[in-house]
Amino acid sequence: MITARRFFARSEPWVLAAIVILSLLIQARSGQFFTGNNLVDLARAFIVPGLLSIGCMMVIVSGGIDVSFTAVAALAMYITDKILLQSGYEGNVILAYAMSAGFGLLMGALNGFLIAFLRLPTLVVTLGTGSLFTGLMFGAFSASASDVPPAIVAHGKETLFTAVNSDLGLSSNMPSQILILVGMLFLAFLLLRYTMLGRGIYAIGGDEAAAERAGFNVRAIKMFLYCLVGVLAGITGISRISMMAYADPSTFQGMELTVIAAVVLGGTRVTGGLGTLTGTILGIALMMILANSLILIGIPTYWSRAFTGAVIIIGTGVTAHQIASTHRSQRDLKKT
């Protein structure tokens, strides 16, 4: 049973409160925040960072860090787009998703091999591979913005419903890609909540040596994690270009900062062992409100980067405080 003290010691209630307060302030100032088209626009902006945050959260929970997932998404998407265009493919979009996920899997497997089997530091590896993938894309492939196959264009036009703002004469379509996000969140929830693999992810983040003694295959779990991040990145790449209707290889640049900030803000401990999908989604929601709704109250959008940096500092500080408080409580219990 969760007591009131334990409940408010978690990050999720505070992030939710921040979302509510910020939303009410924007609504009071602009009168447009809770309009249907604005909410649909926020949901649309939520899809890509939401998909990327799932794998990012799992990696951080495991005690690692991955800053290469945006480069993986961009390269997997770009290679897939080029192959399908050159072959004149006119079939179903499922092949595009499968190919991009496959390329992402290969790149994620490289990260997993270097981290799990060669035991190299996660930050160093993913910084290196991220630069490698970006260099290949802009160097070897001379990447530039291009068209996308008809199947991807058609997929981008699929909508669930249209929200209309009659006051301003604006309308926004809810893209079908949000169903992919919901599906991935559901699968990730099942994985983390009901499987031994999910327990192993938390276990190695809490204490890798203890997890290994408990019988968890640490190398296999890490390999799985980075492969999963690659697959999710590949899927995200196709979702992104389908909504844009063109393939821009630079579309993901800088997004890793926003995603990591949102995951940390949502209560995922940067040292591993603690984090929830609920907190991650709330963190992404807050970051998207900051990034996409500040203009409604007259704040220039470039301030969103300042807010992102502040969120990382605050989120990391809160995590450090929670760890210190836990250690103090454990010492007090030992003394008594």
pLDDT reading at 312 higher than 70: no
**Distances in whole angstroms, Cα of residue 153 to Cα of each of 165, 196, 244, 307:** 26, 40, 9, 34
Q: By C-alpha distance, which of 237, 93, 97 is closest to 154? A: 93
Q: Six-digit token pair at 275?
A: 């984090």
- Of 2-6, 299-303, 314-318, 328-332, the range with the lowest mean pLDDT is 2-6
Amino acid in the structure at residue 87: S
Q: Six-digit token pair at 174?
A: 């809810």
How confident is residue 84, by pLDDT bands cut at 50, 70 and 90? Answer: very high
Q: Give the tens place of pLDDT for each residue, 223-274.
A: 999 999 999 999 999 999 999 988 888 889 889 988 998 898 888 988 888 8
Q: How many whole angstroms separate alpha carbon 188 and alpha carbon 10? A: 21
More confidently predicted of 83 and 323: 83
Q: Give the tens place of pLDDT for each residue, 97-121.
A: 999 999 999 999 999 999 999 999 9
**Which three-class secondary structure state does DSSP give residue 89?**
coil
Range 171-184 average pLDDT: 95
Contacts with 117 (C-beta within 8 Å, 6 or more apart), sequence order: 219, 223
Using the Cα atoms of residue 163, residue 245, residue 127 and residue 123 in order, give the sign of their dihedral: positive
pLDDT reading at 4 higher than 60: no
Using the Cα atoms of residue 287, residue 292, residue 294 and residue 296 in order, give the sign of their dihedral: negative
Q: How many whole angstroms separate alpha carbon 305 and alpha carbon 302? A: 6
How confident is residue 28, by pLDDT bands cut at 50, 70 and 90? Answer: confident
